[in-house]
Amino acid sequence: MLANNSTSLKWLKILYQDIYVNKCTWNNDRYVGFSTNPLDKKKMSEELNHLISICEKERPGHFNFIAHENMSQDDFNRMHVWFETYRGELNNPHDFFISGTKKFKDAIERFNQLIHMWEKLDRYDKNDGMSISTFDVYGGNIERLEEEDMSNFILKKTDNTIYLSYIMRGKNLIDIWTDSDHHVGDDNIRPYMFLGSNFFLSTKGWGKEETDKNTKDFNSWFERNSNFLNSLGFYRDDPKCTIGWLPLAYSTLPEIKSIIEPRQYLKCIKIFEDMNDNNK
């Protein structure tokens, strides 16, 4: 069921184009928090080191670190800067990336995915949440968010909800706050700017107590850093800062988590219209 905001229908139209016209491919490697998922920190560190070796072999001297099972959030923050440096914008990649082989490019893209998946492992263990992301919709339609879209971001998460994915270089304020990221760099602190078909489904939201606590914590963080953030053009009550998440749709199946759990494979996406309800 579509969310009741001005962005959801725009997103649905882009999704339709990417599914039925552009024939975009979908990623099946970003299921996080499901107990039946074989990914663990040991396997993820092994895969990261394999990807690093691919990149280092093609571009010696640029990828001189080793992943391990006990990496901290600060390690991920540093590694994410590496991705930003060598990958560049989604639709305007750096020459370093463009001139690489397909194997090199694939390694860099997967490297970034694994970082974000690993970051979520501990968070989902704590709150029994799970998420899937569709991240490989390159070649799809992308539009700039309008002011009315920016007003639809909320600092709240609900169960079984599809949210807009962040499909650009950099980090938004919520991720910087969550990750305690001191390495991101001024140029990479950026709000959501684009609307595409990419989305992620989150199965676990925040209750009222958690929402109140997180809102208070975020506001305190923003206040402590307000001079710096204001100098970059970020103000707490400005919708253009896109603080939070933009809900696009909700699952009408309360048991969606148990349906996804044994499968964890997305064969295709189809859009169905319920003639009795324009929001379905």
- Give the residue with greater pLDDT, 270 vs 225: 225
Q: What is the pLDDT of residues 34-46, one digit of tens each?
A: 655 666 788 889 9
In this structure, what DSSP letter does residue 245 have?
B
User: Is 125 a residue whose pLDDT tops 60?
Assistant: no
Q: What is the pLDDT of residues 129-150, one digit of tens each?
A: 555 556 454 556 889 999 999 9
Please answer whether residues 70 and 173 qualify as being in contact, where contact means their C-beta atoms are separated by less than 8 angstroms.
no
**pLDDT attached to residue 280:** 45
Q: Which residue is listed with tokens 């950026």?
A: 190
Global pTM value? 0.74
Q: What is the pLDDT of residues 169-182, one digit of tens each?
A: 778 999 889 888 78
In percent, the amount of the chain with pLDDT more than 90 equals 34
Which stretch of 26-30, 89-93, 250-254, 259-263 has the lowest confidence by average pLDDT? 26-30
User: Is 102 a residue whose pLDDT tops 60?
Assistant: yes
**pLDDT attached to residue 12:** 93
How many other β-carbons are positioned within 10 Å of the β-carbon of residue 216? Answer: 10
User: Cα–Cα distance between 198 and 204 in angstroms, integer?
Assistant: 19
Please answer whether residues 260 and 190 qualify as being in contact, where contact means their C-beta atoms are separated by less than 8 angstroms.
no
User: Cα–Cα distance between 21 and 15 in angstroms, integer?
Assistant: 10
Long-range contacts of 255-262 (CB under 8 A, 24+ apart): 256/160, 256/201, 256/203, 257/130, 257/160, 257/203, 260/31, 260/34, 260/130, 260/132, 260/203, 261/34, 261/35, 261/36, 261/130, 262/36
**pLDDT attached to residue 31:** 67
**pLDDT attached to residue 136:** 55
- Give the residue with greater pLDDT, 33 vs 227: 227
User: Cα–Cα distance between 43 and 69 in angstroms, integer?
Assistant: 9
In percent, the amount of the chain with pLDDT more than 70 equals 84
- List, in sequence order, the alpha helices (H) in the chain: 8-16, 41-58, 73-87, 95-98, 102-127, 147-150, 173-179, 208-224, 226-231, 256-260
Query: Where do the domains of the chain lie?
Result: 8-260
How many other β-carbons are positioned within 10 Å of the β-carbon of residue 89? Answer: 13
Mean pLDDT of the chain: 82
